Structure 1
């Protein structure tokens, strides 16, 4: 039987019991933690790609994506509080749906984290070249060194995005030698990000003009299956701006009165971030205009496409929001706030490398847990004798991330990363509903309210957004999954520890070997 290998939940929970954590977090602390986890690359970088897909309808796109996140978060909260161990959606699936489906989730997460780290690297590159080099040092990096080739969605004359390549490799090296990011430093970065967005809203909204919001939905609400445009298409892309909320759900084990405080923290942080995002979009579009550049058929050119890159090279679109690599700083410079725009660029320049670090950490954590289960060669998770980190898989991952960042645009990378994320979130919702039916009497520190409604809404919302990604991004996930089938049936199934009757749970050991990064006990913490 293909679905017969289910990892015993009692074995996993025994590990969780051994490393039970002190309950100290209240609802406000959870909410602030969530805001810090969520606000990141998406809003700083993807505003331009979202506007190209939906125009002013980007504001509606943030609401759609936020709504899907809220129901997914409530599902995550129940199972994260119940199975508070490393491995996230992979471990949850292993304990409910069995090894084969857990493999597909873990395999999708491996893709998601790697591609997401590449997207953040490309986003960082835009702020580095635009703010640090151009504005402060007066250095104009040649196009062939600052963008991917046109054939891959880059720009005319582009060859390689060198800054994105370098930052990805640098972070990989730091992670390999066991860098530690202090909680204080992380808190400072969160404060910088929130201050920067607040300043942006205060400065731009008074200068917004109603004419810039007309037409509000130039590409409609639904752009059509596989087109990735329209408000829903934009929602599928800027979903990237919300992911990270699940780090709040994994804090359920450390929360006082989780049944009350977890939903407040989750829903509260998502609502606050949604309001932030809508106001940022309103300020950017209202001041500079955010109408997409339309193709001859009246449909916006795809974000990150060769056609859009050619249009953006034309003089009339040079200052357009949809063509900017550093959208928010670009808006402020164009409305007379160059100094503050540059300060915002510095904020992004400082904050984004920590996001790359967290993503690469999460990716190697998934690899580590899968290798300890025997599904991947244990050599991949070999721990360096001096650095005490899984250096082999970190190095391999880092090279893949760096190459993708060097040649692909941020919009395409975000869409591919979202495909894996949406699949994982859907599987978590299924796992929660299966556990409710199969094991209704097991202790649940947090129970998802109205699961009969929230579960199907999560599954439907994830499928809905997936089907509104660009066709190319949609196809990456099934192709990657088919590759995963060959790996699973060629190696993993016969090497599986569970299949050999060896039931061991090592998540606590994996935690001890990893760098101590705040808020990353769950590898989905990101963006």
Structure 2
């Protein structure tokens, strides 16, 4: 059976016991950590794509996505506190539902992190070109060097997004040589991001005009299956703005009184960001309007499409929110705060590369663990003799991410990344319920109350958002999964360490590993 290989939970927990962590984090500290992880490209960049899908209903989309994330976050918190090792949803699934399903989750995470890193690179490029080069330095890149062929607003000769390509390769180089962001630097970046968005809210909300919110739902709540428009279609895209909260759940083992502080940190950070996002959307739409550009049949043109790019190249749409590559800075310039708009662009320019770094690091870590499990070629887990980093998989991933950033628009990249993320989140919700049923004896530093309600709600919410993605984004995941099946059955299953009778638990790339012989499962 393909579900027979389940990694020994006792072996995983034995490794975790060897590296017990001191409990120092309070609930408030955990919440601040979550806010720093969550606020990123989604709000800085995807406001335009979300408005094109839902218009003023973008505010409702933020609320819907936030609620679904709260359900998923609670599931993540329990299982992360129970299985506190690297590998994220891949490891959780391996320990509860077996190797094959773990492979599908790991393979989806590879897609999620790589595409998300490409999306952030494109988002950074928009602010770099608009706020740094154009507005501050007076340098104008030709359109064919600053936008991909189908990038929003790039109809006039877009060929390659050179800044996005360069930033992705630069971050890859930093990861290869072992450069990592310190806690102090990250804290400074969090302050910059939150301050910039707070200033945006203060300057825009007093200028908001109620008339700009009418009609509130120009494409309705449901735009139709596979259309990716309407409030639910926007929620499926805006979900990208919340990705990162799962990093909070991994801190459960370092939290004082986790039963109280973990849900406070998770739910608190998500609620804060949801309210923050809604206020930003209200300020942006209320000041300059955010009605979508409609296509045939009164349906908005798809965000990031060539048709929308052609409309955005017309003079009457030059100032439209939905046509901006740097939405928030653009709004401030339109209402007479150009200097502040440039500051906000500078904040995005400084802060977003750290998000690219974290995403690339997470992607290479998943690849690395899968390789060390024998499911992918061993060369991918090769560590550089000098820098002690997994340089082969990092370089390979960085090149793929850079190419994606160079040629694709941010909205489409975010939708594809969300498809993989939603699958992984749903599997985590299933895994935590399976583990609760099969191993009630395992110590849980955090336990979800009402799991048998919250778990199914998280799964249903993930499926619901997935079905409201554009059809091309939905298709990518099953196609990617089929490719994964071919690799698993053609290579990984026969070379799996677990299949050969060895459980290998990796807790750190440069750390220890535990090799535990077991009886190999019979195929």
SS in 2 for 1:504: strand
- After superposition, residues 312-461 of structure 1 pair within 5 angstroms as 312-461=312-461
* 2:152–2:308 contact (8 Å) kept in structure 1: no
1:156 Cα deviation from its structure 2 partner: 2.8
1:265 Cα deviation from its structure 2 partner: 0.5
SS in 1 for 2:502: coil
2:171 matched to 1:138? no
- After superposition, residues 219-258 of structure 1 pair within 5 angstroms as 219-258=219-258
CA pair 151-139 structure 1, distance change in 2 beyond 3 A: closer
1:154 Cα deviation from its structure 2 partner: 4.6
Q: Which residue of 2 aligns with 1:288?
A: 288
SS in 1 for 2:304: coil
1:155 Cα deviation from its structure 2 partner: 2.4
Deviations 1:205-260 (A, max 9, x none): 00000000000000000111111000000000010000111111111000111011
Normalised to the residue count of structure 2, the TM-score between the two structures is 0.97
Deviations 1:377-404 (A, max 9, x none): 1111110101110000000000000000
Q: Which residue of 2 aligns with 1:212?
A: 212
- After superposition, residues 114-263 of structure 1 pair within 5 angstroms as 114-150=114-150, 154-263=154-263
How many pairs does the alignment contain?
Answer: 513
Deviations 1:468-505 (A, max 9, x none): 00000000000000000000000000000000001121
1:28 Cα deviation from its structure 2 partner: 0.6
* 2:152–2:309 contact (8 Å) kept in structure 1: no
* 2:47–2:281 contact (8 Å) kept in structure 1: yes
Structure 1 Cα separation of the partners of residues 354 and 272 of structure 2: 22
* 1:148–1:155 contact (8 Å) kept in structure 2: no
1:172 Cα deviation from its structure 2 partner: 0.5
Q: Which residue of 2 aligns with 1:500?
A: 500
CA pair 412-151 structure 1, distance change in 2 beyond 3 A: closer
* 2:150–2:409 contact (8 Å) kept in structure 1: no
Q: Which residue of 1 aligns with 2:278?
A: 278
CA pair 512-128 structure 1, distance change in 2 beyond 3 A: farther
Structure 2 Cα separation of the partners of residues 511 and 316 of structure 1: 58
Deviations 1:81-127 (A, max 9, x none): 00010000000000001000000000000011000000000000000
Q: Which residue of 2 aligns with 1:524?
A: none
Structure 1 Cα separation of the partners of residues 73 and 490 of structure 2: 35
Q: Which residue of 2 aligns with 1:85?
A: 85
1:373 Cα deviation from its structure 2 partner: 0.5
1:139 Cα deviation from its structure 2 partner: 1.1
Structure 2 Cα separation of the partners of residues 172 and 226 of structure 1: 34
Q: Which residue of 2 aligns with 1:62?
A: 62
| Superposition RMSD in Å | 1.2
SS in 1 for 2:21: coil
1:140 Cα deviation from its structure 2 partner: 1.1
CA pair 304-152 structure 1, distance change in 2 beyond 3 A: closer
SS in 2 for 1:503: strand
CA pair 105-345 structure 1, distance change in 2 beyond 3 A: same
- After superposition, residues 287-306 of structure 1 pair within 5 angstroms as 287-306=287-306
1:324 Cα deviation from its structure 2 partner: 0.2
1:182 Cα deviation from its structure 2 partner: 1.3
Q: Which residue of 2 aligns with 1:25?
A: 25
Structure 2 Cα separation of the partners of residues 269 and 206 of structure 1: 26
Q: Which residue of 2 aligns with 1:522?
A: none
* 2:151–2:309 contact (8 Å) kept in structure 1: no
CA pair 151-124 structure 1, distance change in 2 beyond 3 A: closer
SS in 2 for 1:355: helix
CA pair 126-152 structure 1, distance change in 2 beyond 3 A: closer
Structure 1 Cα separation of the partners of residues 150 and 365 of structure 2: 34
- After superposition, residues 40-51 of structure 1 pair within 5 angstroms as 40-51=40-51
CA pair 480-241 structure 1, distance change in 2 beyond 3 A: same
* 1:212–1:289 contact (8 Å) kept in structure 2: yes
* 1:19–1:508 contact (8 Å) kept in structure 2: no
Structure 2 Cα separation of the partners of residues 369 and 321 of structure 1: 42
* 1:172–1:395 contact (8 Å) kept in structure 2: yes
Structure 2 Cα separation of the partners of residues 180 and 509 of structure 1: 14
1:509 Cα deviation from its structure 2 partner: 4.4
SS in 1 for 2:503: coil
Q: Which residue of 2 aligns with 1:110?
A: 110
Structure 2 Cα separation of the partners of residues 387 and 464 of structure 1: 44
Deviations 1:336-382 (A, max 9, x none): 00000000000000000011010000000001111110001111111
Structure 2 Cα separation of the partners of residues 175 and 385 of structure 1: 15
SS in 1 for 2:103: helix
Structure 2 Cα separation of the partners of residues 330 and 306 of structure 1: 21
* 2:151–2:409 contact (8 Å) kept in structure 1: no
